[in-house]
Chains A and B, each alone.
Chain A
């Protein structure tokens, strides 16, 4: 496949993700095969060399993310793609990327877990793994596409956020969104916003843990940068016991995302100011919500929704606002309750939070099931 022309195409989600990476300027991909993410790897393997980029298959997922991190320190935009089991193996190096402030994109195409689970079937059980998967304190940035178009758009956004905030960014998709085919508009280059990382001037020597996101040198530029996953000061020197240095560096990792939450959060919302029942959803599950809301309107029930495009940072403000207007918030997800707890925490009792869970066989939550829950919650109040 050659370079796609601007205009309308009919693509698979994983292809759109791969083309999004190419468009974002990704020039290095290291991966390890895994269902249902392999098409991303296969597509970039064809496309990146055409752009002078490198694609390599490593011996395992730790090696894949390790190579991505090495490539990122040469100045390249770099990515890997995996699914839940591989993402679990990568967590060690996800933590390393947080600690060393290495921009990179990790795509997780969720499948039904835990463990090998149902490898070809859809699931949404990695929400908390994407937030808390590696040990220690950090702020995660996690995007959740719900269409083939967003597999493209949010992949570009993932690179932009990774480069802007010098952090690993997770594109948390799912088997359904990754494998379905639908219409996608490939924008002309001038309409795409592509971020670049901040480079140091030749006299700067502080590359870590600054108040603003620190400038990032590349290796081989003469900066003699010392990169370490151990606790380090602004110069990259190790301090394995000093409590203040540890507080400073880890605090900065958390704060650089926390203080920019309002710039990072992204969501779609509908009728949150005048709905009786609210729905909070993300990924493939949110596609049933659109139809459920219409079905509810036919029954003269006003339902609104917040659809999370950033799962992390969690869009607290909008969900909190919706809770003030509604008596019930339904949380449909293809797991046995993950984002549910974040909604409960945010709502703080202002509305009743009702889970709607489904797992196994990749079976989707249907608009009818959602409608039934909406009707039930209205009756409960009446």
Chain B
């Protein structure tokens, strides 16, 4: 970390996410971040690496972190490319990039900090906001159901996709270790408290109340298989949604370019 004060509000889940990530890579034996390059978009979570990590970081335009990370990874396959972003950045404006990166099984890791709201811009409804919540742009209550981003990423073809809340910091840290060491597209959704712009709108004043709410409403994926959509409406389903060995984008690319590589030698 650089010697700078972190910008996050008191009780923000980003602190836990930073903690889990840095612990995870420390436990994996990395003494510094030399083998990593971080990309992020716009929003609170996008500030996690930039410029606070003592590392190369590219803080891109809103939603475009994954395309930029893709360009970096394709030219520097030896580096670990990690994206941090919020639910607005990755599941709204950047969603198509997220789906396509998962489909390609592009060799990058994405950490989505889901606080269920647009925090930085002052509490507008997000595609992850639960139905009925009153936000600054839905003063009569949200009238659209939220997106199950992790399930979507798993379905699209990612090697690894998991959701935890910041309450489960041990599982979150372990998931980060798995994500760093698994080849292909790896995705972690960290459901995270935002007492400042979300908690107070749903009647939860502090971080501890929010964490309590996460705890009471979380269900392991295994238990939810036979539950109806209605029963799951207010639940946070946690666990590993995908964990599989499969060829990555780079594998397919090298296979396809074999013919061209022969020509390289001739040129």
Contacts and interface: CB of A to CB of B under 8 A. Distances in A.
A219 B267 contact: no
Interface residues of B, number: 39
A3 B78 CA distance: 29
A58 interface: yes
Contacts of B67: 30, 58, 62-67, 70
Given A50-B260, A63-B67, A224-B55, A93 B72 contact: no
Interface of A: 2-3, 27-28, 30, 49-52, 54, 56, 58-60, 62-76, 78, 92-93, 95-96, 219-220, 222-230, 236-238
Contacts of A60: 96
B227 interface: no
Given A73-B58, A93-B61, A63 B37 contact: no
B100 interface: yes
A68 B75 CA distance: 10
A209 to B, nearest CB: 15
Interface centre among B54, B68, B257, B266 (most CB of A within 10 A): B68
Contacts of B54: 224
A220 B79 contact: yes
Given A92-B61, A93-B64, A228 B50 contact: yes
Interface in B66-100: 66-76, 78-79, 96-97, 100
B24 to A, nearest CB: 20
Given A219-B37, A220-B79, A238-B51, A230 B59 contact: yes
Nearest to B249: A56
A236 B57 CA distance: 10
Nearest to B62: A92
A230 to B, nearest CB: 7
B134 to A, nearest CB: 29
A178 to B, nearest CB: 25
A175 B253 CA distance: 32
B33 to A, nearest CB: 8
Query: Which 9 residue pairs of A and B lie closest in terms of their CB atoms, listed nearest first?
Result: A70-B71, A66-B67, A49-B260, A67-B71, A226-B51, A70-B68, A63-B67, A228-B59, A71-B71
